[in-house]
Structure 1
Amino acid sequence: MNTENRIAAFAELGDLFRNYNNSENLNNALHQKYLHLLQEAAKQSIHYNGWFTPENITFAIQQWGGLLTKENLSDWLSNYALPHTTPKNIGIVMAGNIPLVGFHDFLSVLISGHNVVIKLSSNDKLLLPVIAHFLTELSSEFSNAIVFEKEQLKNFDAVIATGSNNTARYFEYYFGKFPSIIRKNRNSVAVLTGKETQEELSALAEDIFRYYGLGCRNVAKLFVPKNYNFDSFFKAIFNWQDIINQHKYANNYDYNKAVYLMSEIKLLDNGFLMLKEDTSYSSPIACLFYEFYEDEAQLLAELENSKQVQCIVSKNHIPFGQSQQPQLHDYADGIDSIEFLRNL
């Protein structure tokens, strides 16, 4: 299968994704079949992972639907000279914190002409197999290119593994002799100046609360100027107040608030989100850390070079409300996976 055929297959997958909630628009029997299977997998996923809600699964699928067009895929790959070599077997250890979090790795391996050997997370194990079966029905050549392993990975030439800082140590031990991309914990931040509009701050709430803050692209910390007044921020995010009705989120809110109060830690609290002054980048669920800064240019330079930061939301970086809408060329941890795969 050449690159054009692979692009065409993923563009057709994009068409399926774009119609996820519009089955009446589908006249294609294959698409109707897999739309039903994907919807059923989504319903079952909710039972396996309490953080996976219909809204967030739909959001993830439709985000990918917007990206998987022939034009987008062609533009993305036009930056690379993909060699016509014997396909390598690429092992992928996937995370399961948000729906389809490992899809970009899956896409990158297959569209670059390699085979993929997948170890799914138990938290997100139903959606991707349906997608893989759809691709194999589009082209039988995908049948031999996609393998799911229930136990440990085997028969691979290179590895892409995503996990926590702790699991990364095991990845480095087990996969150290293979070409690899090993991702650790990262968090995203927002830099505010105090001059943001209510619309911008309201959009920032999407960066904070989407997927309940579980993604590495979720804003987990605010950097604000000295004497920053949080009233406008709290007012702007109030339309997310219903998030406290999600029981897992509410349990985390209650637990973390109790811990902080027993420790007599000062908090800013609006009933569904706590703000705590802290130098760390990784805040617990239902809590957002903040830190004051004096020199914005110096701060941005430090953040841009930090290995703890996934992305920066600000007026001059990722726009407010866009952190969970990455493009195809927005690689996790800034590591170009297509370039990695191309050079194997």
Structure 2
Amino acid sequence: MENLNEQPYDWRKLMVAPEELKAECSRLETQMQQPRTDGMLRIRTFNNCIEEAASRPVPQMLFGKFWYEGELCILFADSNLGKSVLAIQIGNSISTGTSIEPFTYEGDKQPVLYCDFELNDKQLEARYTHDWQKHYRFEEHFYRADLNPDPSASYNENELEVYLYRALEEAIIQYDTRILIIDNITYMRSETEQARDALPLMKQLKSLKNKYNLSILALAHTPKRDKSRPITSNDLQGSKMLMNFCDSSFAIGDSNNSPDTRYIKQIKQRNTEQVYGDKNVCVFDLHKPDNFLHYAFKGYSSENEHLRAKDDNERNQLAADAAELRKQGLTLRQIGYQLGISFSKVNRLLKSMDDRS
């Protein structure tokens, strides 16, 4: 039976004043715009991301358009081409606050930590002295780390990668550096040729970079490659995973024209457009006029000019193509641009054709 004493429900209690509803909507909108940081993922709107990024400085060039501040960059090349020479030269540039002309360094002089797992001290000395005298003086805040030969600094060989990562983190904190150069990443992980082996390494380096706001230049080897074809990302050991996770990459190639000539080519870039691709590689000579072995800039050229000719048939075909273009009235430079070679090489090819006719 219905309870006669029960008062009728006042539905007006459910009504919300317009100003209260407006305030609640505003509160919810503000809450939705705040990043979610209570879990693994940080959720923000695209607008929030761009606004937060706009409040931070624009990344500065560390080595021209090859390597920018805040990037994990990979420099790779075949053995004995001078990766370490160039990497030390870049570290010296950053520690002194001077550019390696014509490639701009935009920052101030700052500490650099160079992890050297390649050279011993005497090999290093040979490169930066004149007849074992007159040693080159580096900045005091250009630090070099290598594996400690002291037997008391023992570690479990099976956990070398763990110990090395921890030691690296401690050194970054102790020497207050934001520039890290690793020569080379093989020592950070015993295997990098397979993607499954390279992935943990790249995750570690990315984590280290983000945690301490680092700029990292990591050196890597290439397997034996066909020097008659251009350098690509496929020439990097563990290329797929290493290349996917790095921010930028550039490579050193040797020139077929001279044993002391090298060229540098952009392979990957995110902060800039590709400037130094196969049509415009940067050419250097390995040079030691006194007590500092370094890359001396010569100019720009097509990569094809430095590649080894595949065989006589291909050379003959190239010469035939050059002769046909000459008949069409093109200049040596125009022919070179069409064929992707220098005008001097065009001249040699045409001369060889004339000699045979």
- TM-score with structure 2 length normalisation? 0.21
- TM-score with structure 1 length normalisation? 0.21
Higher helix share: 1
